[in-house]
Amino acid sequence: MLGAGLALVPAMWLIVGVTVALYGLAPRLAPLGWAIFGYAALVTFMGDALDLPDGARALSPFHHVPELPGGDVDATALLVLTTIAAVLVLLGRATLRRRDVNVT
């Protein structure tokens, strides 16, 4: 069961990465990270009931995570999610450093 929970971590990191990038680029847009989380939750829990098309479901980072236990693990999808999350965090960090913020 621990492995099933750990399979969700790259999707969560992606949401964090988007939020960090938004905060670095424009801090007022950082709350959109919650909107991404809300959309992912809506798609995950209500996607079937709402009869969402596959394109709309694919926008959720949790759509690309294997359903464990019992499903097949696609390491490529997990690696791509982790890589995108890392790039977004680095982008947010770089843009945050450019701003003139007083540090004491």
Q: What is the residue-level pLDDT of the chain in tens, covering all 104 positions?
A: 666 677 788 889 999 999 999 998 888 998 999 999 999 999 988 887 888 888 888 888 887 776 767 667 778 888 888 999 999 999 988 888 777 666 55
> How many alpha carbons lie under 13 Å from residue 91 in its C-beta half-sphere?
17
Within-domain flag for 5 = no
Q: Which residues contact 59 (CB under 8 A, 6 or more apart)?
A: 39, 43
Residue 104 covered by a domain: no
**Domain total for the chain?**
1
In a domain, 61, yes or no: yes
The verdict on residue 85 lying in a domain is: yes
Per-residue pLDDT at 59:
85
The answer to whether residue 68 is domain-embedded is yes
Query: Is position 47 within any domain?
Result: yes
Which ranges of 1-104 does DSSP label H, i.e. alpha helix?
2-6, 9-25, 32-50, 54-58, 75-98
Domain that residue 85 falls in:
11-95
Residue 39 lies in a domain: yes
State residue 5 phi and psi, 5-degree precision. -70, -40
Q: Give the global pTM.
A: 0.79
The reply to whether 100 falls in a domain is no
